[in-house]
Amino acid sequence: MVSHTVPLEGEFSLSDLPGGAGRLDVACRAANDAFLVSHGIRKEVALHLVVGDQITISLWGLRLRRLNPDERSTGALFREALRAGRDLPVGEERPSTPGITVRRIGLAGLLDDLRTAGSAPVVLDEGGDPLRTEPIPEQPAFILSDHQNFTPAEHTLLAGLPRVSVGPRVLQGHQCITLVHNELDLREAG
């Protein structure tokens, strides 16, 4: 998820996620829907939040701890990661809380890393091809924006990638994540 308005320094109150935290509530819902199932988490999932095209916070399902359903505690995990990322040299990675790392890379660096790790980026776009009938790569990395549109620079980076739609309506990001999981779950179950 590409996040455009979250303050990079992590200086905000957890009581004001939609305001002073620059709509961090959007990312919190994305994290919760990316990982949480009834009484557990999806261990095979990773979520990368690109903040201000400078910092990427990665949540790794295999090692992730302390992710709870309430947005405030998820906001605290993101805030801790942002603070851990202060003064981080370009390209370097630092651990934050268990299962969360922070790197000083933007969207271009993340796309490079995903490809190096064998993932195939797929853009979530309401105008794309229908997810229900599209072939999905073995190890897909779905790219979506927060409450704002992708910037022109982001559009340029994402040009030429496959685009899939979960339906004709423009939905909230976390809703798209749930629908993608549902489609992948159904395919896995045959």
Ligand X SMILES: C[S@@+](CC[C@H](N)C(=O)[O-])C[C@H]1O[C@@H](n2cnc3c(N)ncnc32)[C@H](O)[C@@H]1O
> Is the Cβ of residue 84 or residue 144 nearer to ligand X in the bound state?
144
What size, in residues, is the chain?
Answer: 190
Q: Which of 5, 54, 151, 172 binds ligand X (CB under 6 A)?
A: 172
The answer to whether residue 170 forms part of the interface with ligand X (CB under 6 A) is yes
The answer to whether residue 75 forms part of the interface with ligand X (CB under 6 A) is no
Shortest distance, position 82 Cβ to ligand X, whole Å: 21
Supply φ then ψ for residue 183, to 5 degrees.
-65, -45
77, 74, 117, 75: which is closest to 97 by C-alpha?
77
- Residues 146, 173: contact at Cβ < 8 Å? yes
Tokens 């906001």 -> residue? 75
> Is the Cβ of residue 147 or residue 181 nearer to ligand X in the bound state?
147
Shortest distance, position 134 Cβ to ligand X, whole Å: 11
For the beta carbon of residue 31, count every other beta carbon within 10 angstroms. 26
> Is the Cβ of residue 45 or residue 88 nearer to ligand X in the bound state?
45
95, 100, 54, 53: which is closest to 75 by C-alpha?
100
- The two tokens of residue 122 are 């797929």
Shortest distance, position 132 Cβ to ligand X, whole Å: 11
Residue type, 101: T
The answer to whether residue 173 forms part of the interface with ligand X (CB under 6 A) is yes
In the shown chain, the binding pattern of residues 120 to 149 toward ligand X, with x for contact by CB under 6 A and - for none, equals ----xxx-----------------xx-xxx
Q: Footprint of ligand X on this chain (CB under 6 A)?
A: 124-126, 144-145, 147-149, 165-167, 169-173, 176
